Amino acid sequence: MRLSRPIAVFLAAAAAIAMAGCVGAPTSGDASGKLTVVTTTTVFADMVSNVGGDLVSVTSIVPKNADVHTFEPRPADVRTVASAKLLVMNGLGLDDWLQKTITDASAAGTPLLQLGVDLPGVILLPGETSATENPHLWMDVKYAELYVDRIAQALGSADPAHAAAYETQAAAYKQQLEALDSWVRTQIATIPEANRKLVTFHDAFPYYAREYGITIVGVAVEAPGQDPSAGYTAQLITAIKNAGVKAIFSEAQFPAKLVDELASETGCKVVSNLYDDALGDPPVTSYEEVIRWDTTQLVQALS
């Protein structure tokens, strides 16, 4: 876990609830009686809403259709963090800017849930460098179910009076995710095995690919906000041609210029409306719809 010095000291001092991925003491809700939860992304906000139901009030700092990697909190976001009774982030480098926001908001005593850090049973994949891990665990629906378990534990710790309700709602949500996982497997099975290869804009899909039998030949950029070198792009073009990749995929929040250039050099089709780090406009307004939407786009492009 890579933390700034002030946050590292704080977390070490509050490790009593670390087994749930959450630090801090139980707190009360807002004026309406609901537990006020602030998440870094709309994806996590949707997960919290499914587990918390009417017992929680959830706000995402990063809006829909936005990039969590390069997001810079505004003064209004600092105030939002200061009002939270529970903070939810992914960790693993995805949204570490929240840690500075916590300091700026003087919210060091607020419980902090890091969904992806030290998650039991998870085999992490490499990130942008050899010293980092890929943070996009939730794109594997099985790992998303582990996120749900952590969310239920954190909500119950912050609001013990409703802990049983959170567990019940989490169990129901996990049943929906089990059905979603089965649906994805059925859909991917319709793609000819030789066609289950793709290139993505950034490295957001390795856990999805590993779980559902897709090969990622390469990524257009090694990290959002960083332009690739000419040499890197040339190597990627060669890899695309050698592998017989049929489609290059990009997310809706990123510019399509680079993938369009790759497509013109390789003859691949471009699909530029995937989602992963953020929700979007209808129908992609929930985590489940993110997975359904992306799977449908892959099947249509690769079949």
Decide if pLDDT at 21 tops 60.
no
Determine the residue type at 162: H
Task: Please determine, for residue 7, whether its predicted confidence score (pLDDT) is greater than 60.
Answer: no
* Whole-structure pTM value: 0.86
**Per-residue confidence (pLDDT) for residue 32, from 0 to 100:** 78
- Strand duo 86-89 + 35-39: pairing: parallel
Kindly indicate the confidence band of residue 257, based on its pLDDT and cuts at 50, 70 and 90: confident
Specify the CATH class of 185-302 in words: alpha beta
Give strand pairing partners of 38: 59, 87
Classify burial at 192, counting beta carbons within 10 Å of its beta carbon; exposed 0-12, middle 13-18, buried 19 or more.
Answer: exposed
Per-residue HEC secondary structure of the chain comes to CCCCHHHHHHHHHCHHHHHHCEECCCCCCCCCCCEEEEECCHHHHHHHHHHHHHHEEEEECCCCCCCCCCCCCCHHHHHHHHCCCEEEECCCCCCCHHHHHHHHCCCCCCCEEECCCCCCCCCCCECCCCCCECCCHHHCHHHHHHHHHHHHHHHHHHCHHHHHHHHHHHHHHHHHHHHHHHHHHHHHCCCCHHHCEEEECCCCCHHHHHHHCCEEEEECCCCCCCCCCHHHHHHHHHHHHHHCCCEEEEECCCCCHHHHHHHHHHCCEEEEEECCCCCCCCCCCCHHHHHHHHHHHHHHHHC
Confidence of residue 298 (pLDDT cuts 50, 70, 90): very high
Spans of all domains in the chain: 5-178, 185-302
The confidence score (pLDDT) of residue 260 equals: 85
Q: How far apart (Å, rounded) are the C-alpha atoms in residues 227 and 269?
A: 21
Residue 264 has what pLDDT?
A: 87
Q: What is the pLDDT of residues 108-160, one digit of tens each?
A: 899 999 999 999 999 999 987 767 899 999 999 999 999 999 999 999 999 99
**What's residue 210's pLDDT?**
97
Which is higher by pLDDT, 38 or 130? 38
Give residue-wise pLDDT tens across range 115-128. 999 999 999 999 87
Same fold? 5-178, 185-302? yes
- CA distance to 82, 134, 270, per residue, from 223 (Å): 30, 11, 19
Question: Under CATH, what is the fold of the domain 5-178?
Answer: Rossmann fold (3.40.50)
Q: How confident is the model at residue 183 (pLDDT cuts 50, 70, 90)?
A: very high
